Amino acid sequence: MAMQTDVLSTQPLNATGNFQTQGGTNLGRSRIKAIYAVCGASAGNVTIRDGASGGVLVQIATPTSVNAGSIYIIMPGQGILADRPLHGTLTNATSVVVFYG
């Protein structure tokens, strides 16, 4: 089976806002392949939307940093498609990186 697309990573998102490429621009249309999150001191969640005011694509509950310092989740199938720049809301999470293609 051939690779569909190159998989890239965003810059770490440390506060609510748009995920950016390593070059510092907002992502365009992309597929989320995996998510890596560093947990905060208390339980929280990470919400990723299709654009700042778009629908929720994925919401992940994060445990405390005492129970798990970080989490890594691989998306099933071809991943989750976003048509607009990915927007993340972090609640009690230190940072999040999205792997996309």
Per-domain boundaries in the chain: 23-100
Sequence-ordered strand ranges (E) for 43-100? 44-50, 56-62, 70-74, 80-82, 86-91, 93-100
Residues shown for the chain: 101
Return the number of other C-beta atoms located less than 10 Å from residue 48's C-beta: 22
pTM (2 d.p.): 0.91
Q: Which residue, chain included where needed, has tokens 């607009």?
A: 84
Q: Give the integer Cα–Cα distance in Å for 52 and 87.
A: 5
pLDDT of residue 65: 80
pLDDT of residue 90: 97
- Region of residue 94 (phi > 0: left; psi between -120 and 50: alpha; otherwise: beta): alpha
Q: What is the pLDDT along the chain (101 residues), one digit of tens a residue?
A: 555 678 999 999 999 999 999 999 999 999 999 999 999 999 999 999 999 999 999 999 999 887 789 999 999 998 999 999 999 999 999 999 999 99
Mean pLDDT over all residues of the chain? Answer: 93
pLDDT of residue 2: 56
